[in-house]
Amino acid sequence: MLRDARLRFPWPPPVLVTPQPTLRASVTPASPGVGVRNELTTALYEFDVQSGFDNARLLAGAVPALEADIDLFLHQQQPDGTWRQVQAAESGRLTDELLAFERPPPGGTGWRCTTGPARPPRGWT
């Protein structure tokens, strides 16, 4: 057995590519959703996943001003202009929500934010 053997790799070292710059936004649904998603209970933030960047992971986070059950839904725009949900984050935490999506393809993307009550109404279990 050789103690000081040098390892040689036939491939070049990986090239590091810059990720797309961070986007920040603030959205506020007009009304608590309590499980219902519509234009009053959902706020939408649209953005483009740009090509030419190393977008290994898309992270979307939400922090409510007051305790609230925030849910995040990631959508991708389809060639016909419609939107398709590709990921959801529905943890039930009252202080924040985090959504992660691996290797998002370039194109139109949006995330929808809905809120529920901070505490379930009486009689709910």
User: What residue type is 82 in one-letter code?
Assistant: T
Dihedral sign from CA coordinates of 74, 79, 81, 84: negative
What's this model's pTM, rounded to 2 decimal places? Answer: 0.75
Q: Domain locations in the chain?
A: 44-116
Residue 102's pLDDT band (cuts 50, 70, 90)? very high
85: closest CA among 41, 37, 118?
A: 37
Exposure on the CB side of residue 64, measured as CA atoms within 13 A: 22
Percentage of the chain with pLDDT > 70? 83
Q: Using the predicted structure, report yes or no on whether residue 125 has a pLDDT greater than 70.
A: no
Q: Using the predicted structure, report yes or no on whether residue 8 has a pLDDT greater than 80.
A: no
The span from the CA of 85 to the CA of 112, in Å, is 10
Paired with 84 in beta bridges are 76
CATH label, 44-116, candidates 2.60.40, 3.30.1490, 3.40.50, 1.20.950: 2.60.40
Q: What is the per-residue pLDDT for 121?
A: 41
